[in-house]
């Protein structure tokens, strides 16, 4: 099962179990992956990729390897680790605890 498939399956489980932190974290991870797949808004084949007003067209997305997806998730983990340090320094412990929970969710997908 791919990482993306695991994320989607785990999102369903988190929603069923009403685990808001896990659901939110997994949604954020999926969004980061989808954003990385987006292509730049430059001309493709001499046409405007955004299309004419009201007549947009689909643009193929960038293909990501499992390694690319893991790298994206590692960046998400790194961002949370840095934020935890900042929150700890400023003594905002509830926020740091919330981010630690998110970190545990994300680490399941990075460590495989």
The range of the structural domain enclosing residue 35 comes to 3-39+60-110
* The CA-based dihedral angle spanning residues 46, 49, 54, 60, taken in that order and rounded to the nearest 10 degrees: 120
Number of domains in the chain: 1
* pTM for the model: 0.80
Q: Does 51 fall in a domain?
A: no
Q: Does 55 fall in a domain?
A: no
Q: How far apart are CA 89 and CA 51, in angstroms?
A: 48
Q: Assign residue 83 the CATH number of its domain.
A: 1.10.1510.10
pLDDT tens, position by position, 79-110: 999 999 999 999 999 999 999 999 999 999 99
pLDDT tens, position by position, 19-55: 999 999 999 999 999 999 987 766 555 565 555 555 5
């Amino acid at each position: 099962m791919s990482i993306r498939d695991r994320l989607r399956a785990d999102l369903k489980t988190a929603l069923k179990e009403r685990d808001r932190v896990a659901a939110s974290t997994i949604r954020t991870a999926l969004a980061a992956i989808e954003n990385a797949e987006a292509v730049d808004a430059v001309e493709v084949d001499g046409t405007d990729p955004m299309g004419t007003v009201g007549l947009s067209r689909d643009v193929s997305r960038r293909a990501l390897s499992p390694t690319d997806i893991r790298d994206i998730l590692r960046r998400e983990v790194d961002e949370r680790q840095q934020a935890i340090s900042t929150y700890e320094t400023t003594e905002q412990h509830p926020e740091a605890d919330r981010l630690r929970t998110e970190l545990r969710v994300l680490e399941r997908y990075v460590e495989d």
